[in-house]
Amino acid sequence: MSSTATVLIVDDEQRNRTLLEAILKPMGYEIILAADGQEALEKTLESRPDIILLDVMMPDITGYEVCETIRQDPDLAEIPVLLVTALDDRESRIRGIEAGADDFLTKPVDAVEIQARVKTVTRLNRYRRLLAEREKFARIGDFATDGLLLLGRDSRVHYSNARAAQLLGIAPGTSPKSTFVELAGEKFQLQPADAWDCWRDGPPPADRFLRYLVGHSGLGPATWLQAQLFQLPETGGADWLVRLQDVTGLMGQRREQWSFQRMMSHKMRTPLNGLIGSLDSILTGGDVAPDSEVGASVSQALESARRLESQVKDVLMYLDASKLSKLGTPLAVMEVGPRAIEIGRRLGIVDPTVSIAPACFGKRIALGERAADVVLSELFENALKFHPRMSPRIDLSIHLIEDDQVEITITDDGEPMSEEALIAAIRPYYQSESKMTGEVAGMGLGLSMVSEMIWEVGGKLSVGNGPKGGVRVVLRVPVRS
């Protein structure tokens, strides 16, 4: 259904067609003209207009006959027809009603009256057609295995199929007062948060944003729903279609694939350890001069072996991310600062600036010591790798949000990330290009692993550029007793 209404004007007199077109054209309608009854039928079948202004007295086929023919065609029968006639007697009007006319306009036409009549009839007709289309959609939706919803311009659910109602915990066919985001937020975490914040700005390319609803059930695995949102231009940009696909099983399959990688990684560790030990012995044993050609080759081989070992460890740590997030006693907020300083020193980073709001004193977060160390290590290592001089200064601040969440903000003074890199930062195996060497050490799993760990405990993660440059990562982690 086009957003512009189409009006078919049928009259055998050129001046009458021109007059009606001049009256209606400024209102934004698409105007189609026909000079006789046969042409009117052909153009009705071809264009399916929203309304027909039909002259009664025509030489070949009268307006009555055209109207009767239209009403006999099931595909055309619902098109509104306004008969335009100089006849004002009772018999002529009865004849028009029997032919199926919806209304009458008397010649000479009044411009204000015809504009008002056409506006009213087209609006009612398009609303009826919209309801019919939604009824068809509802019938099809009842057979869908994915959740399907229609949202209005107010972002409220105007329709939900049985599957969507089941997933969101609402009665099928109802229109809750809450918006879709509010409704989904009652049962799920909306991740990534930044992608949900801008969903009404228009549908981005499918490969730029993946939006999820993540449901938590105690210590068991999380439920993952992938949400796809499509704007429906044929309704004037007012409505949205939402598809909810349960990808919990797919996430499990992904883990199985990564488990295979893990097995392969374990198989690689033993020969890697032997290789690294042997190369190191050659360099430190005194048999080869480090500055010789052979020594340089051995040094290069040793560096490559150590890099491969580091990448294997990255993969293994990522595969354990969801389990790791739930291990251990909830960490006291006051312990985050000392652990951050210790990790920074281990990595050769100047002691980070740490500030903790007094409201956080005595609070614990939904991450154990090991999980918190992994999160801080990954974020600090990213700051180190992407800093142009490999010497970042890091600010870490912690605040309490609404008594049930702790917000941890980590900001560095390195180079800001591009828009594309920010969007893709939490994808597994994604690496932003290094401006220094064209290569980035590691497997590109750091932010992806951190985000999965935070989501699994019901938290949120966002990545952006700092106000004065550099990258800022904000973690919101639930408070635990």
Q: What is the CATH number of domain 320-480?
A: 3.30.565.10
pLDDT grade, residue 438 (50/70/90)? Answer: very low
Comparison of pLDDT for 359 and 93, the residue scoring more? 359
C-alpha gyration radius of the chain: 34
Which CATH number among 3.40.50.720, 3.60.21.10, 3.40.50.2020, 3.40.50.2300 corresponds to the domain 6-138? 3.40.50.2300
CATH topology of domain 142-246: Beta-Lactamase (3.30.450)
Q: Which of 58-67, 202-211, 259-268, 353-362 has the highest mean pLDDT?
A: 353-362
Between 9-13, 90-94, 315-319, the lowest mean confidence (pLDDT) is in 315-319
pTM: 0.48
Domain boundaries, the chain: 6-138, 142-246, 320-480
**Largest Cα span, the chain:** 119
Q: What is the mean pLDDT of the chain?
A: 80
Supply the pLDDT for residue 419. Answer: 78
Asked if pLDDT for residue 257 goes beyond 70, the answer is no
Asked if pLDDT for residue 209 goes beyond 70, the answer is no
For residues 285-304, give the mean pLDDT: 81
Share of the chain above pLDDT 70, in %: 78
**Using CA atoms, how far apart are residues 192 and 340, in angstroms rounded to an integer?**
25
Only one residue has tokens 């009404």, namely 200
Asked if pLDDT for residue 417 goes beyond 80, the answer is yes
pLDDT grade, residue 234 (50/70/90)? Answer: low
Between 15-19, 137-141, 197-201, 428-432, the lowest mean confidence (pLDDT) is in 428-432
